[in-house]
Amino acid sequence: FHCCCFLISILLLQQVKMPPLLARPPDGGWGWVVAGSAFVVNGLSYGLLRSLGLALPAFAEYFDRSTQDTAWVSAIALAVQQAASPVGSALSTRWGARPVVMVGGIITSLGFILSAFASSLLHLYLGLGLLAGSGWALVFAPALGTVSRYFSRRRVLAVGLALTGNGVASLLLAPVLQLLLDAFGWRGALLLLGATTLHLTPCGALLRPLALSGDPTTPPHSPLNALGLTLFTHPAFAVFALGTTLVGAGYFIPYVHLAPHALDLGLGGYGAALVVAGAAVGDAGTRLVSGWLADGGWIPLPRLLAMTGALTGLGLVAVGLVQEQEEEWGGTLLAAAGAYGMSAGAFAPLVFGVLPGLVGLGSILQATGLVMMLMSLGGLLGPPLSGFLRDVTGDFKASFLFCGSFILSGSFIYLMLPGALPRCHSAPPPPTPPPEQGELLPSPESTLASPNDPHSIPNTTC
């Protein structure tokens, strides 16, 4: 009886002390504005980075250097952006996503503006690679993490919507960048891209902070906690991290090597461009479909993640197995690339969408940053290894089989996530949980899921 009294009094005390928070994400309203802002952020970071390749020949010509030398500009920017993402998340857990994204926008813009006055390729490595790259690192993970915080039932759809920004922007920005290059040369184009990337700052301003119950009460002070490295002690997240690193090793290879593979198979320049566009359109299209499917709650997210991952791997294996093409437009390769693109697009929002169920909404920002870093670990390793295989074997067949099998093995590891496999206990949980209960709600208990929690035990027995 005393115990009971004690507990009740503690609960009451807590209610008095704690400021009243939103019990659960608003699932709409301003959330859609946040999703739209993340869409633009994604477009102005990844989409722009993809289109930046168009400016590389101009750099090569002006500085009289090889294409390989100039390719390092994009490579450094991508590496810095991915590797520094946890820093962006850490800063935004400390100070909130809004100021971090706004400052990130200004840094990115500065990187472009300074690069416009470059007098050597080194200046471009520093300006576009280091400065713009670290600016991008500050904007992407916090913006995407904020979307996750605003949504619960429609989370994967909202994340998928934000992630389509990449594809839409690369379709839009590529011709715009070409126009800028033709009209103003690379210096003028970089200057104006500096003005364009400055739009990241108003996007950041739109990310109104949101206080949810389940958030840590005080911002973390030690850098280790701020980066969220303690998340690795959490078994479900550790499994997820291992799987994601493996997937990352294969995931970015088609970005780099699909076009040369198509050319190797005897397709013309336009045929190869068609294949790449086919993969990109498939990719953009299924991001929303997968979000809708995931939010329907018919299939547990980890299972959906493993399934789409496996499909992506199989698609890449198919791309690798396509024989030399007879017809100019390469129908078989186009079909295989389209299938790959569609499954890769379905996979992308799930990687981020599955996180709240694994770590809770309180650590979502750090977890997003860590996932990006993990994928980049694999991403840095994959393409050079695939290029090496191409040099040894003479074609890209081995490269694609290799990256396909990496993604397949990553998906296999995802099967150890809670809920990925149908249970074989005598009393199975309802197979189609209603959306509200389909994921762990952001209560403090779920944030620190203990090993006793049935959800976090890797279900390896089935």
Partner 1 sequence: MRFSLGARGFPLPLSILLFVAAPCFSKGTITDVNFTTQAVTEATVEMAEENVTSSSYPELIPMEVTLLVIETSDAVVEKNVTIGNPASIELKCNFSTTQPLQYVNVYWTKGNDQLNRTSSMRVLENILQAHIRLTVTDKMHMDNYSCVFEATKERKGTFHFKVPEIYTKEKPLVNYERDSAVLNCNSKNYVPLEWMWYTSNGSEKVPIDIMMKNKYEILPSKYNETKLKIKHLQATESGLYWCHAIFHLGESEGKQNLKVLSYLVPLKPFLAVTAEVVILVTGIFLYELYSKRRQTATESGKDFEQVEQLKSEDHNGVDKKNQRTRHRKSDVNMN
Residue ranges binding partner 1 (CB under 8 A): 19-22, 61-62, 64, 102, 181-185, 187-188, 191-192, 194-196, 198-199, 201-202, 205-206, 208-211
Q: CB-wise, 201 or 225, nearer to partner 1?
A: 201
Distance of closest approach, residue 127 Cβ to partner 1, in angstroms: 16
Smallest separation (angstroms) from partner 1 to the CB of 38: 15
Among 155, 142, 204, which Cα is nearest to 351's?
155
How far is 195 from 201, CA to CA, in rounded Å?
A: 11
**At its nearest, how many Å lie between partner 1 and the CB of residue 255?**
27
List helix spans (H) across 96-154: 97-115, 121-124, 133-150
Q: How far is the CB of 393 from partner 1 (least distance, A)?
A: 18
Which tokens hold the place of 138?
A: 């500050």
- CB of 188 vs partner 1, minimal distance in Å: 4
Cα–Cα distance measured from residue 103 to residue 101, given in angstroms and rounded to the nearest whole number? 5
User: What does residue 25 show for φ and ψ, rounded to 5 degrees?
Assistant: -55, 145
Q: What is the DSSP letter of 310?
A: H
Nearer to partner 1 (CB atom), residue 13 or residue 224: 13
Q: Are 317 and 259 in contact (CB under 8 A)?
A: no
Joined tokens for residue 402: 């290799």
Shortest Cβ 324–partner 1 spacing (Å): 19
- 189 with 181: CB under 8 angstroms? yes
Which residue, 31 or 349, has its beta carbon nearer to partner 1? 31
Is the Cβ of residue 12 or residue 211 nearer to partner 1 in the bound state? 211
Q: What is the DSSP letter of 96?
A: -
In terms of CB distance, is 113 or 144 closer to partner 1? 113
Distances (CA, A) of 210 to 96, 149, 311, 442: 9, 8, 36, 13
Q: Is the Cβ of residue 191 or residue 359 nearer to partner 1 in the bound state?
A: 191
CB-wise, 28 or 188, nearer to partner 1? 188
Q: Are 112 and 132 in contact (CB under 8 A)?
A: yes
- Backbone CA torsion sign across 115, 118, 124, 130: negative
Distance of alpha carbon 65 from alpha carbon 57, whole angstroms: 9
In the complex with partner 1, which residue's Cβ is closer, 135 or 254?
Answer: 135
Residue 275 CB, shortest distance to partner 1, in Å, is 24
Least distance in Å: CB of 194 to partner 1?
7
Q: Both tokens of residue 7?
A: 């507990």
The identity of residue 192, as a single letter, is: L
Beta carbons of 429 and 199 less than 8 angstroms apart: no
Contact 278, 341 (CB under 8 A): yes
Q: How far is the CB of 354 from partner 1 (least distance, A)?
A: 28
234 neighbors 359 (Cβ within 8 angstroms): yes
Which lies closer to partner 1 via its Cβ, residue 21 or residue 224? 21
Q: Which is nearer to partner 1, 101 or 161 (CB)?
A: 101
Closest C-alpha to 88, from 231, 234, 226? 226
Q: Which residue has the tokens 């008095």?
A: 16
CA distance linking residue 158 with residue 152, whole number of Å: 9
206 vs 380 by CB, closer to partner 1: 206
Distances (CA, A) of 454 to 166, 358, 422, 427, 451: 37, 12, 14, 13, 8
Q: Which is nearer to partner 1, 22 or 462 (CB)?
A: 22
Q: Which two tokens stand for residue 67?
A: 């294409």
- Three-state secondary structure readout of 320-338: HHCCCCCCCCCHHHHHHHH
Beta bridge partners of 22: 212
CB of 199 to partner 1, least distance (A): 6
